[in-house]
Amino acid sequence: MRTGSGEAMTDIDDRDRYRAPALDKGLDILELLAGQEGGLSQVEIAKALGRTPNEHYRMLERLVRRGYVARTASDRYELTLKLFGLAHFHRPIRRLVAQATPLMKDLAARTLQSNHLAVYDRAGVTVIAQMDAPGYWGLAIRVGARVDLFNTGSGHVLLAFRSPEERALMIAEQDVVEGRREEPGDLEDRLVQIRHRGYEVMPSQQSAGVYNLSAPVLGADGYALAALTCPYIAPLNRPKAPDIPETIALLQETASSLSLRTAGVGDSEAP
């Protein structure tokens, strides 16, 4: 019969038996950076963890390459939003889609346009739900498609309705994962306009004759969980079909209803 202290020693031995030193190093770095706002240099990371800089160099490079950590121009390392995305993508996303589906179906019927729901995910925008237009025509984007952060209505809304700190991380993460790119010169001014009016309306930069109409689905903190987007195609043979202003109003109404369903948030609580 083992004593209590013997059982404790056995538990420690069991934990040591399954140690993975390389994995431990990576997790140590992620946990350390999670508590830092301004990032840390390689030397500071090593000092904080009681190791030499060389012990962590390769691990840091792998974390940067995989998109979990970003290296700034001043050679400091910061945590990206990738872990946040992984932690929040599965079960909450399934719940969001389930709650959104009947509302999206109703929106398609009222606007006679297709619509889709997208979230920020690993340096890009991923479509998680799609509803076809009720007629014979409409622009459909497949579920799972990744679209651009800078050049789409969904991307603009997801950037506009995030905190400045999150927005900076999203842009930095895109630089790391997708390759460094020039931001549109008027992007910040446009995001201010979107926050002010509560939605985005812009000609599609992927399809001629299409306007992207996008509104945020807000979380409990008042920031965007998702973007609800209608790729609007002007109907030529349906005189009673809603025009762009009418469709925007219906889109905002639907996005607000989904915000209330998911987090109890209305438009008045936007930051």
- The DSSP-derived string for 126-179 is EEEEEE--SSS------TT-EE-SSSSHHHHHHHHTS-HHHHHHHHHHHHHHH-
Which two three-digit tokens encode residue 180?
Answer: 């460094």
Amino acid at 170: M
Which two three-digit tokens encode residue 110?
Answer: 């009222």
Which two three-digit tokens encode residue 140?
Answer: 């459909």
Backbone angles phi, psi at 128, to 5 degrees: -110, -15
Residue 59 contacts residue 53 (beta carbons within 8 Å): no
* Measured CA distances, 23 to 134, 135, 188, 196 (Å): 51, 53, 39, 45
Spatial distance between the Cα atoms of 93 and 131, rounded to a whole number of angstroms: 16
Give the architecture (CATH level 2) of 86-269.
Answer: 2-Layer Sandwich (3.30)
Q: How confident is the model at residue 270 (pLDDT cuts 50, 70, 90)?
A: very low
Spatial distance between the Cα atoms of 68 and 80, rounded to a whole number of angstroms: 5
Question: If we measure between CA atoms, which residue out of 265, 135, 264 comes closest to residue 198?
Answer: 265
Average pLDDT over residues 181-192: 78
Handedness of CA 184, 187, 190, 191 (dihedral sign): positive
Q: How confident is the model at residue 262 (pLDDT cuts 50, 70, 90)?
A: confident
Cα 1 to chain centroid distance, Å, stands at: 54
Q: What is the pLDDT of residue 3?
A: 45
The yes-or-no verdict on residue 223 having pLDDT over 50 is yes
Backbone angles phi, psi at 149, to 5 degrees: -80, -35
Q: Look at 271 and 198; give whichever has higher pLDDT.
A: 198
Fold of 4-79: Arc Repressor Mutant, subunit A (1.10.10)
DSSP class of residue 59 equals H
Q: How confident is the model at residue 160 (pLDDT cuts 50, 70, 90)?
A: very high
Question: Residues of CATH 1.10.10.10 domain(s) within the chain?
Answer: 4-79
Question: Residues of CATH 3.30.450.40 domain(s) within the chain?
Answer: 86-269
Q: What is the pLDDT of residue 91?
A: 63
Which two three-digit tokens encode residue 137?
Answer: 């025509």
Q: What is the pLDDT of residue 13?
A: 52
Q: What is the pLDDT of residue 175?
A: 60
pLDDT mean across residues, the chain: 83
Helix (H) or strand (E) holding 154: helix 153-160
The yes-or-no verdict on residue 240 having pLDDT over 90 is no
Q: How confident is the model at residue 155 (pLDDT cuts 50, 70, 90)?
A: very high
Spatial distance between the Cα atoms of 271 and 180, rounded to a whole number of angstroms: 29
Q: What is the pLDDT of residue 228?
A: 98
Which two three-digit tokens encode residue 17?
Answer: 């038996």
Cα 176 to chain centroid distance, Å, stands at: 15
The yes-or-no verdict on residue 192 having pLDDT over 60 is yes
Q: Tens digits of per-residue pLDDT, 64-84?
A: 888 888 888 888 999 887 776
3-state secondary structure (DSSP) of residue 27: helix
Spatial distance between the Cα atoms of 32 and 270, rounded to a whole number of angstroms: 32
Average pLDDT over residues 226-240: 86
- Count other Cβ atoms within 10 Å, centred on residue 152: 25
